[in-house]
Amino acid sequence: MKIATVFTLTVFVPLAAACLQAQGAAPVPQEWTFAVSGDSRNCGDFVMPAIASRVRSEGDAFYWHLGDFRAMSGPDQDLVALNAGGMALSPDEYREVAWDDFLAHQMAPFGDLPVFLGRGNHETFAPMTRDRYAFKFSAFLNRPEILAQNRSEGYDASPKSSPWFHFVKDGVDFITLDNASSDEFSYAQQTWLRRVLNHDLEPESGVTTILVGMHEALPHSTSSSHAMDDWVFGTESGEKVYKWFVAAQAAGKHVYLLASHSHFYSPDIYNTPFWQQSGTVLQGWIIGSAGAKRYKLPPTAKPGSETHIYGYLRGTVHADGTIAFDLKKISEEEMQATRWPKASKEAVHECFVNNSE
């Protein structure tokens, strides 16, 4: 599946909009963009500032992170390079500062640009728990967009710090799911998702598009060796949820599925024999290229897949609710230009060149 290329008609669209407004019709919606990627452990302190700089300069509406902020199994090389005096950290010392490091060196560069966070499996490494995650990142999990969405649907809009949430923007329902641990998709999350989809399918919902982001790909993707297929309940609940999205598409919604977890870029990930035989192939991408140690591509990866890169997907939302996705690569020059003063050029170069299998 080839990535769509977007051309903006800067002359004719404004003229058409002006004509319609003159006739009393509603303004023609303009295209708008957002950015998404995941897996910023290992070298994200050097990659994410470059992503933030590009996203802000592009005028994207928000950035969406699909999980795995820090390695947690051992000190990330970028954090070590930034550690004052180069002092070694014990495992306990590292875990005590890892999430603060993520906030200071990866989230701060976005400034006032909205950022939405998904939970990755490395956010579950002991001693980290779902409750600790919810507490630490409550400001992101209770963003005004999320609380306003709950309020608009008649539900309690008080802060909940849930790792799964959604918000609707210009007819697109952005749904963040949590499949970071082996108890997901829990029955509680399935109940919540079913309610969200039921609302989206109502004739008066105004929702034209369902865009779902999660850490691990749903079962039977081209990356099934490193996805929800890894545990029995993950396969069972993932298949069930996938079929719900198939039904939403059959009902006329545009449906797109995004994941990270695998540290590369790969399109068309659900165009596999398992889903082909039932005629239920949905559009899906893996974008795990925000700084984590880059993996080799699996033999099942579709044409256009890339590894040994850093970058993100830029989504362009069209007036009809369709979304075109473009891979945006980050160069070493951008990483050097946005590096933290405490980081050496050599450390940034090492991350760009050698952070791979």
Could you tell me the pTM of the whole model? 0.91
Residue 118 lies in a domain: yes
Provide the token pair at 133. 């995650």
Into how many domains does the chain fold? 1
Q: Does residue 163 contact residue 133 with C-beta atoms inside 8 Å?
A: yes
Q: Does residue 299 contact residue 263 with C-beta atoms inside 8 Å?
A: no
Residue 250 lies in a domain: yes
Q: What sign has the CA pseudo-torsion 86, 92, 93, 94?
A: positive
CA distances from 126 to 12, 86, 104, 304, 357 (A): 56, 25, 22, 36, 25
| Residue 139 CB coordination number (10 Å) | 13
Residue 172 lies in a domain: yes
Counting other chains too, the contacts that 230-235 makes at CB distance below 8 Å and 24 or more residues apart are 231/182, 233/182, 233/183, 233/184, 234/179, 234/182, 234/184, 234/185
Provide the token pair at 337. 């230009």
Residue 344 lies in a domain: yes
Residue 225 lies in a domain: yes
The CATH number for 273's domain is 3.60.21.10
Residue 138 lies in a domain: yes
Residue 10 lies in a domain: no
**Angle CA 15–18–22, to nearest 5:** 140
Whole domain around residue 173: which residue ranges?
A: 28-354
Residue 3 lies in a domain: no
pLDDT in tens, the chain (357 residues): 333 433 333 333 333 333 333 444 445 458 999 999 999 999 999 999 999 999 999 999 999 999 999 999 999 999 999 986 666 889 999 999 999 999 999 999 999 999 999 999 999 999 999 999 999 999 999 999 999 999 999 888 888 999 999 999 999 999 999 999 999 999 999 999 999 999 999 999 999 999 999 999 999 999 999 999 999 999 999 999 999 999 999 999 999 999 999 999 999 999 999 999 999 999 999 999 999 999 999 999 999 999 999 999 999 999 999 999 999 999 999 999 999 999 999 999 999 999 998
